[in-house]
Structure 1
Amino acid sequence: MSALYRHEVRGGTLVIWNCNTGMRNALSYEYYHGLQDGLARAARDPAIAAVILAGAGGFFCSGGNLNMLKERREMPYEERQVQIGKLNALIRAVRDCPKPVIAAVEGGAAGAGLSLAMAADMIVAEEGAKFTLAYVKAGLVPDGGATYALTQALPRATVARMAMLAEPLSAERMHQLGAVTELAPKGRTLAQAEALADAVARGPEQAIAGIKALLNQAETASFEDQLTHERDAMAQALGGDEAQAGIGAFLSKTSPVFR
């Protein structure tokens, strides 16, 4: 395992750490590998119910390494596309993981680090943390799906100020607008994310995976298409063991046990 990332299993949760603390956890190719490997591990391991993305040293992720971006300026256009596509693959891996992914944001999330946080299903953010799109200061534009995810969650005018003026948005404001799930006091972000993961772990694994898939589909589907997606997912769920346990518990006025 690289020194730039770490996997840690805590109960039924896999915590994937970005350990590039000397660069405020800027993204590295080692972390790309570690994150994708961890998500694949979570997907195939029934003992892992949720994934937490965290940054060592009190900062979630500062985004792309500017030295690496400087090197890409010398590449042909097509090669630049290939390199940026690796970030896209990382974001897709987070969204496509069937297990819920929670971003535990301490300190802040900037640039592609913000894209990574927004790709998660839920965000627990430390009070006072800052969410920043500062690409414009380097003469660049957002990537990693940032403009898509942020305009899904926030008013367009708010995202425009973030992207065009590099104005940070506080965790408190992100929470008010619904983009952050929970706020945590300083020093409690990971613990609060773990509590959220534990709550998820008590739920039905297949149903939760189905819900995540439906939420992803809903972002681009028409109303009619989403009705079809939900019909098919519900028909599948009704025939499963989880529905048998859940419906039986509801009718007998007991608490369901799914795992």
Structure 2
Amino acid sequence: MQQYEAIRVEIDAAAHVATVTLNRPEKLNSFTRAMHKELSAALDEAVEAGVRALVLTGAGRGFCAGQDLADLSFEPGASTDLGTLIDEHFNPLVRRLQALPLPVIAAVNGIAAGAGANLALACDIAIAARSSSFAQSFVKIGLVPDSGGTAFLPQRLGMARALGLAITGEKIGAEQAERWGLVWQVVDDAELLASAKALAAQLAQQPTRAIAAIKRAMRASATNTLDQQLDLERDLQRELGNSYDYTEGVQAFIQKRAPRFEGR
């Protein structure tokens, strides 16, 4: 297992679950470029370990406060190009989480602000501690939501609430986020990590190849026409119909036993 400074990785081989923890608690786990590189390596490590589900969380009292401004330059004529920063770090991270061929669960503790809030939304399922909160804080420093925020918010909330959160930068609590459909579930703070790991262990026993196809199809629906989506469903179903897990699932149903899926 690799050694990291700003990331912790725990592999539960028996459950086929990886827990990746952002580990800069003194900075509310805000991102630096070095932390981005470590997180990318940690995801590589989890995939190479053959895990079938992944939990992403934050150490200490916050999930992630977005970009660490101290990692940027504000020198006149030499200030950090935010477009390059996003293109090299945040966008690849969001794309990778969305495309991972396994379920990714965000366990949101404390504040999730700016890119940190959208990092949680980039995961497949978000479970939030009751005391946690979400803030699209970009506007407070003259910026636009990034890391997928302008896509995720309207998709989940509708335009009125998405614009309201983005334009005001207001913070909302976990229970309001759950009512609005921003997160899947709210649990008591003390139960957050155990709940996320239990869900990950449950999903790791499911046909993860089918879960990967579900992720792909659901996300394609945002831009596909109905005809394109129907064709994609057909193609994915044909592919899955030739899989081991489909045969196993059907046989288990006929034999009235629990299926033993392998993700192939």
Alignment TM-score > 0.5, same fold = yes
CA contact 1:132–1:162 (8 Å) conserved in 2 = yes
- The unaligned stretches of length 5 or more in structure 1 are none
Match of 1:149 in 2: 152
Summarize the alignment of residues 159-238 of structure 1 with structure 2, pairs less than 5 Å apart. 159-238=162-241
Deviations 1:144-188 (A, max 9, x none): 111111111012221222111111121111111222111110121
Determine if contact 1:39/1:97 at 8 Å carries over to the other structure: no
Distance, in Å, in 2 between the alignment partners of 1:110 and 1:206 is: 32
Distance 1:73 1:145, change over 3 A: farther
* Aligned partner (choices 38, 41, 45) of residue 42 of structure 2: 38
- Distance, in Å, in 2 between the alignment partners of 1:97 and 1:66 is 29
Asked if the contact 2:11–2:46 (Cα under 8 Å) also holds between the matched residues in 1, the reply is no
Quote how far apart the aligned CAs of 1:73 are.
Answer: 7.0
Q: 2:55 aligns with which of 30, 52, 55?
A: 52
> SS in structure 2 opposite 1:98?
coil
**CA offset at residue 127 of structure 1?**
0.6
Give the drift of 1:134.
Answer: 1.2
| Aligned-pair CA distance for 1:189 | 0.8
Question: What is the match of residue 22 of structure 1?
Answer: 26
Tell me: CA distance 1:111–1:17, structure 2 relative to 1, closer, same or farther (3 Å): same
The offset of 1:13, in angstroms, is 1.1
1:138: Cα distance to partner? 1.2
Give CA-to-partner distance per residue, 1:56-80, whole Å, 9 cap, x none.
Answer: 0131000011223453874478x44
The alpha carbon displacement at 1:117 in A equals 0.5
Name the CA distance, whole Å, in 2 between partners of 1:248 and 1:75.
Answer: 64
What letter is aligned with 1:15?
T
Shift of 1:233: 0.7
Residue 8 (structure 1) aligns with = 10
Q: Is the 8 A contact 2:129 2:186 kept in 1?
A: yes
Q: Distance in 2 between matches of 1:108 and 1:167?
A: 12
- 2:116 aligned partner: 113
Work out the CA distance in 1 between the residues paired with 2:75 and 2:178.
Answer: 35
2:134 partner SS: strand
Moved over 6 A (4+): none
Distance of 1:75 and 1:207 partners within structure 2: 47
Asked if structure 1 preserves the Cα contact closer than 8 Å seen for 2:32 and 2:71, the reply is no
Alignment TM-score, normalising by the size of structure 1: 0.93
Q: How does 1:52-71 map onto structure 2 within 5 Å? A: 52-71=55-74
Separation in 1 of the partners of 2:179 and 2:160?
16
Task: State the superposition RMSD in angstroms.
Answer: 1.8
Provide Cα deviations, 1:108-165, integer angstroms capped at 9, x if missing partner.
2000001110100000100131100111111222111111111110122212221111
State the match for 2:253 in structure 1.
250
1:23-49 deviation line (CA, Å, top 9, x unaligned): 111012222122222323333443x01
